[in-house]
A and B are shown apart, each in its own frame.
Chain A
Amino acid sequence: MNKNLETLQNKPNNWKAARDLLREYREKQARNSYEIIKYGLPLINKKSQKLSKEELFEVMEQVFLAGLDVNIEESKTLLLKLQKQFPKSLRVTKLSGLLEEAMGNWKSAITIYKSILKNNPSDQIARKRLVCVSKAQGDVVLTIKNLNNYLSHFQGDTETWEELLEIYLTQQCYSKALYCCEELILAEPNNYQHHYKIANIYYTIGKRTDLIKARQYYAHSIKLLKEQNLKSYYGLYLTANKLKSLYSKNLDQSETQINEQLLQFAADKIKNVYLKLEDNDTKKTVLDFFEKNK
């Protein structure tokens, strides 16, 4: 478990650990709202003098964002404090827009963002929040349209391509999702997660050429991250298995051999991972499964 989190569970008043934990969360942009509120709120309320001014306001913003998920009353108080400190700040205006979104006041949120864009037409965050509002309202068609609109101006924005990918997946538009995932790979070719995702999509489409591509992408994901990448090994195993059971007649001899070797490689690797663990239900199940399907 996280070192700071452990310290805090034993000594909840350790402000240094709280500060470091919050820094970690800010760095990773993690959304562990329960923890942030639990440890961040006392930090702001009781130990604010221990933090530098700059950091204090960063922490206040972070706790505000966490409060939107977990405790909206706290967020309202924090926003008032921030507005008092920074009366004409663009950043605080964006936060007020977020509060409106969290409370479900879509119209006022949209008004706030549109007024930001009027004065700062190139502001990316306000644009993205408008898309989020349409997504939260459940209007899928409008969200897709807004995302595409955003991307026509900001083609290099990886975050948005990911968002579009997720929406296409929920709507089961797999070929469009594939296009988005390829953009992610072209932007960040060394990120094993993108290769894993695209392999999943190819597997889901499921024709012979797609399964072969899926297998190749799983293998590439493994190549990029050999350890702690259990999901790619599983993916490789499943794809090779599916090819073997569905398309064995359509593969020539060398391809069948490659498939078989990959199947064995993945199975061995997965078994090795589980053999090193303590006994529990999952370990037993996995090893049983591989016994039956030798």
Chain B
Amino acid sequence: MRLDPQIRDFVLFPIVIIVFLVSVIRHYLFSIIPSQKPAVDKDTQREQQLLIRSNRICKNANMVSKSSLISRQPFFLEETNGELNQDSKQKPLAMSMMFDPSMMTNMMKGSMGNMIPQVVLGQLISYLFKGFLVVKLPFFLPARFKTMLQQGIGLSSLDSSFVSSLSWYFMVYFGLRGVIDLLFQAKDAIAHSYFSPIREQKRQTQVPRPAPVSASTPSLGNMGGTDKKDTLRNEKENWKMIDHFFEIQNSELELIGKPVNKEKVVKNQTANKTQIPKKNKSQNKNMKSTTPKNRKRNAKKKK
């Protein structure tokens, strides 16, 4: 089966050109409309950074000695004062976001800017190029995809790898994204200094992936205020999962070709998972009472 040159010239190429032009126009439009920096709440920022650090420690715990890891635990995990046992002070996102004008521009640009042209174009293309097949996909697809990919064509017996113009549009759209990024990256080859906002954004590391949460707790990112309180507590899961083994000790053995130490066969290494420390002895009331002064007092109390 061959492709009609008319389809090729008047459908395939035009769709490619349209998608390309729309992406270029959108890129320039976005660079003209200035994006506002969202006003970051101090507490939120602090907690985000806390989570970033906690995440990093849990991820790379094997790079430092066990004592270093243990010395960091009280800061995070100590029962009353540990950071991860505090209520999160982050304000619930949804409410403040919707009414904050500076965030509006950002939101508009982000989601709408991508969604609207895509939907509009998709509708336009399926209207303009209605009713005929355009390409044959080189791989086999089950019949379910027919309704999606063969819009406007009523043949139920047709092989579902023959698709309509709408699906060609989607393929071009996703395919050209990479090409357009490269194109505009080349134009932005000017390196940026320490003070430029682009570098500042790169320096502020991204918000960490929240710890895996069990099914019982409600999912994060919801609009409720109660869930936000536990953002920090949920991070504790990461700490429980640390199975510390000081990997560095193997590097020197590798250099001289000796067999490396494996996890459980090393002397003086506990293969147990990290224990969340209980309160320090000095804070433990029971211990205090064994000093002579307190013994007398306790003896009196008992009476």
Contact = CB atoms under 8 A, between A and B. Distances in A.
Interface of A: 23-24, 26-27, 29, 52, 54-55, 58, 61-62, 65, 91, 94-95, 121-122, 124-125, 152-157, 159, 178-179, 182-183, 185-187, 189, 195, 213, 215-217, 219-220, 222-223, 258, 261-262, 265
A130 to B, nearest CB: 16
Interface in B35-87: 40, 42, 45-46, 49-50, 52-53, 56-57, 60-61, 63-65, 68, 71
B96 interface: no
Residue from the set A52, A91, A219 with the largest chain B CB neighbour count within 10 Å = A219
Contacts of A58: 190-193, 196
Nearest to A260: B256
B195 interface: yes
B192 A26 contact: yes
Interface residues of B, number: 39
In order of increasing CB-CB distance, the 8 nearest A-B pairs are A219-B252, A26-B191, A156-B52, A220-B251, A27-B191, A155-B53, A219-B251, A261-B256
Interface of B: 40, 42, 45-46, 49-50, 52-53, 56-57, 60-61, 63-65, 68, 71, 189-197, 200, 203-205, 248-249, 251-256, 258
Contacts of A62: 193
B252 A156 contact: no
Contacts of A26: 191-193
Contacts of A27: 191
A219 B252 CA distance: 5
A179 B71 contact: yes
A34 B180 CA distance: 39
B67 to A, nearest CB: 10
Contacts of A179: 68, 71
B208 to A, nearest CB: 9
A113 B113 CA distance: 36
B255 A223 contact: yes
Contacts, number: 108
Contacts of B205: 156
A186 B60 contact: yes
Tell me what chain A mostly uses at the interface: helix, strand, loop, or mixed.
Answer: helix
A24 B195 CA distance: 16
Given A219-B251, A258-B258, 12 more contacts: A58-B190, A58-B191, A182-B68, A183-B53, A185-B60, A186-B63, A187-B60, A189-B63, A213-B65, A217-B248, A262-B256, A265-B255
Given A179-B71, A182-B68, A258-B256, A153 B195 contact: no
